Structure 1
Amino acid sequence: MSSARRNGPLALAFNAVVITFMLAPLLVVCAVAFTSENTLSLPGWNWSLRWFHAVFDHPDFMQSFWNSLWLALASATLATLLAVPAALAINRCQFAGREALNGLFMSPLVVPHLVLGVALLRLFALVGGTGSFAWLVLAHALVITPYVLRLVLAALVGFDRSVEQAAASLGASPATVFGRITLPLILPGVSGGWLLAFINSFDEVTMSIFVTAPSTVTLPVRMYMYATESIDPLMAAVSALMVAITAVAMVALDRLYGLDRVLVGKA
């Protein structure tokens, strides 16, 4: 049965209105980024790349972009290294505290990022990690690990372990079984989780405001700071670039894993 038959005209119209309502602000911001004026206004016939050039010529924004990029790469990789063995243990082992361990890993999704930011700021002050890029990576890994964990757990559902057992019976070591059998079979979940973690780390702003230092300011935090001082089309250009980066990453995630399976994993 086709989607049109399952959903009546009113349901389709309602979905169209909701999608338009959600996408309209993004489309307006992206359109404003191409204005040639000095104020936030929709471009007429004179479309310009002036403000995109201004972004690349702005040293603070470029430094913040590289900070966000390296931070997202490092924290997503660390989160994946933590989530894969945790998912294997939760999925395959029966031990006391199994559900508690799962709840512990998933707890950053429940705690507001504002609360996490204040708590991590206090922790970094106590251990002398304020302003350290390494501690900032740990903070982001804490927030994004649940995304990787859920997708790896979803990839392990229905996993046929007879292939692993056959390899082990032929003399393969546990490391060989994992590297040549297990990991390739769950690789879509691992790569999809890594990419989803990368997106969330790159866009994180609420917690980052509390734990960044002047030398480690991320791009979302830089945008927040700039918006408190002035509002001009430069902000629209930066926002349009971030929308483009996120859209490309989401398309890659859909190709690697499938957005419908991601939504099931996050649920």
Structure 2
Amino acid sequence: MPRNGSFAILFNTLVVMFMLAPLVIVCLVAFTPENTLSLPGWTWSLRWFRKVFEHPDFVTSFINSLWLATVSASLAVGLAVPASLAITRGNFPGRQALEGLFLSPLVIPHLVLGVALLQMFARIGATGSFVWLALAHVVVITPYAMRLLIAAMTGYDRSVEHAALSLGASRLTVFRRITLPMILPGVSGGWLLCFINSFDEVTMSIFITAPSTITLPVKMYMYATESIDPMMAAVSALIVGLTAATALLLDRIYGLDRVLVGQR
């Protein structure tokens, strides 16, 4: 048994190292002083990070991504909260179908969604609009908030709510003073998870962004098709850092183990 346990630890360690190796290499290349993609030697430099912040297109696309992720995550959570309440507490025909509809973007390729949304936006004349781009991101990221909120509401003890209702509190007051505070970790975790996925979304966004709404991942893709230099590694390192910081915040608020297994 100890031998099997040591083998499992070694195997898991190798898997983790294999998964993290590309990210570590990219982050190391970002500090190279050379003009080509190469690992830094004894000399490390921040020149490529400075170039990123001096590049107006990257700064603009970063602001677009930040604003888009914030708006999309807020709309997604605002939609997911009442939908999750209806699914977990309601008993009406089509409840399972409604849940499947909200979670369906998880299994639909983003490439297919991008092409479909491009055709729809072209027909209604909504191409190039930030509002429609945000709504498209809401479609993609809402299932992540739904998954956490449904898990948080499953098995939820409603005795406190019933006591408040019996004492004369309105349903709105019960939701605001009792229900929402008790599911707040799921709401906060869902918002952060939606923010990460919206900020990193590139496959669908390529089809529906306009010159005025280009996001950072799309700008990186466009830049990579023209030239490859360490500035791409610097941008990637910044995104890795932002994603890691958000993931740590998510772990502190909700717990990454709950996110991954979907348990309350």
TM-score range, shorter chain: over 0.9
Does 2:154 align with 1:157? yes
Does 2:105 align with 1:108? yes
Amino acid of the residue matched to residue 163 of structure 1? V
Does 2:251 align with 1:254? yes
| CA drift at 1:265 | 2.0
Alignment CA distance shift 1:102-1:44 (3 Å):
same
Structure 2 unmatched runs, 5+:
none
| 1:35 alignment partner, SS class | coil
| Mapped partners of 2:3, 2:113: distance in 1 | 43
Does 2:90 align with 1:93? yes
Partner of 1:122: 119
Amino acid of the residue matched to residue 98 of structure 1? R
| CA drift at 1:7 | 5.7
Question: Which runs of structure 2 are paired with 1:45-194 in the superposition (5 Å)?
Answer: 45-194=42-191
| 2:262 alignment partner, SS class | helix
Partner of 2:22: 25
> Normalised by the size of structure 1, how large is the TM-score?
0.97
Aligned mate of 1:211, from 208, 230, 237: 208
| Mapped partners of 1:157, 1:129: distance in 2 | 38
Aligned mate of 2:240, from 237, 240, 243: 243
| Mapped partners of 1:174, 1:111: distance in 2 | 36
| 1:139 alignment partner, SS class | helix
| Mapped partners of 1:145, 1:175: distance in 2 | 24
RMSD: 1.2
| Mapped partners of 1:158, 1:57: distance in 2 | 51
Alignment CA distance shift 1:80-1:238 (3 Å):
same
Amino acid of the residue matched to residue 82 of structure 2? P
Could you list the per-position Cα deviations for residues 21-72 of structure 1 after superposition, in whole angstroms to 9, with x for gaps in the alignment? Answer: 1001100000000011100011111100000000000000000000000000
| Mapped partners of 2:3, 2:241: distance in 1 | 33
Q: How many corresponding residue pairs?
A: 263
| CA drift at 1:113 | 0.2
Does 2:194 align with 1:197? yes
Partner of 1:12: 9
| 1:214 alignment partner, SS class | coil
> Normalised by the size of structure 2, how large is the TM-score?
0.98
Could you list the per-position Cα deviations for residues 62-108 of structure 1 after superposition, in whole angstroms to 9, with x for gaps in the alignment? Answer: 00000000000000000001100000000001001101100000010
Amino acid of the residue matched to residue 140 of structure 1? H
Amino acid of the residue matched to residue 11 of structure 2? F
| CA drift at 1:6 | 10
Alignment CA distance shift 1:42-1:102 (3 Å):
same
Could you list the per-position Cα deviations for residues 232-257 of structure 1 after superposition, in whole angstroms to 9, with x for gaps in the alignment? Answer: 00000000000000000000000000
Which contiguous aligned blocks of 4+ residues in structure 1 show a shift greater than 4 angstroms? Answer: 4-7
| CA drift at 1:12 | 1.1
